[in-house]
Structure 1
Amino acid sequence: MSECTVKDQLTSAMKEAMRNREKARLSTIRLALAELKRIEVDEKSLDDTRALAALDKMAKQRRDAITQFKSAGRTDLAEQEQFELTVIQDFLPEPLSPEDIDQIVRDAIAQSGAEGMKDMGKVMGLVKPQVQGRADMAQISQSVKKLLG
């Protein structure tokens, strides 16, 4: 099995949260570890790239939930989701700036020889592994459309 430093970081953070009696943080970390364990069992291996993809997905779910709870007037639930999002983001790499994203997309366009929107899939295929966990894929998609259009 591949080594997974993200899982190791989560495990040590879980132990620290247990020692410090931080119940809410501990709960969120356990959710993340459970998701990584599920992936490990289902896919027979877990590396950092896959772990970051899972955490990124969890973060996106929290962002979507926050939007829905706020629009429904449930600020209490939105605050809980925001807390969980903050904990999850502690284990994700530093987010990319819009300028960094545009540069990565430009490089991928040049590398793939993309000439228009019909080549968007090629560009996205090159960009996704570079930005996993560091940028929202909707933001990447907008950048690709802008630069290809």
Structure 2
Amino acid sequence: MALIERLKDEQKSAMKAKAKLRLGTLRLVLAAVKQIEVDERKTLNDDEVLAVLTKLVKQRRDSAAQYQAADRTDLADTELAEIAVIEEFMPQPLSSDEIAALVAQAVDASGATSMQEMGKVMAVLKPQIQGRADMGVVSQLVKAKLG
């Protein structure tokens, strides 16, 4: 089943179950997907929907960190609950060992030897890691490997 269809089915289930937080989060996700589809005048595939989910999770993490810094745990808890709902639709996260192995393979595959060629390595890695690892952490590993 396509990811967008799964999101829509879960939205219907959340409506029937009267799960307010889950329903609100799913509506937010579907609205973000629809906005991109309208703006770009195309239907998104699963990889593109996954990129939207990744972006939404990153936004929620940033917001939760800011709320916690401002001592607003009630708002931070809401953001963290939304993250949990969104992550149900994302693939299983990679372990640090798996990420390190993929970085090593990508460096070998791209033939990169210096920091100037980091873009080549990231281009190889991104499709494999999208939605399964924090790209900031991956970027740091690539820099360490090339530096």
User: Normalization by structure 1: what TM-score?
Assistant: 0.95
Cα deviation digits, residues 63-109 of structure 1 (max 9, x gap):
11111100000001000000101000011101111111111111111
Q: Which residue pairs with 1:116 in the alignment? A: 114
- Does 1:52 pair with 2:50? yes
Cα deviation digits, residues 7-65 of structure 1 (max 9, x gap):
11100100110111101100000000011111112221200110000000000001111
Aligned residues: 146
Instruction: Pick from 127, 130, 138 the counterpart of residue 128 of structure 2.
Output: 130
Counterpart residue identity of residue 42, structure 1: D
Q: Which runs of 5+ in 1 are unaligned?
A: none
Superposition misfits of 4+ residues, deviation over 2 angstroms: none
Q: Which residue pairs with 1:24 in the alignment? A: 21
Q: Which residue pairs with 1:36 in the alignment? A: 33
Q: Which residue pairs with 1:9 in the alignment? A: 6
Q: Which runs of 5+ in 2 are unaligned?
A: none
What value does the CA root-mean-square deviation take over the aligned residues? Answer: 1.0
User: Normalization by structure 2: what TM-score?
Assistant: 0.96
Secondary structure of 1:140's match? helix
CA distance in 2, matches of 1:39, 1:7: 13
- Does 1:92 pair with 2:125? no
**What is the CA distance between 1:6 and its match in structure 2?**
1.1
State percent identity of aligned pairs: 50
**What is the CA distance between 1:145 and its match in structure 2?**
0.9
CA distance in 2, matches of 1:9, 1:146: 38
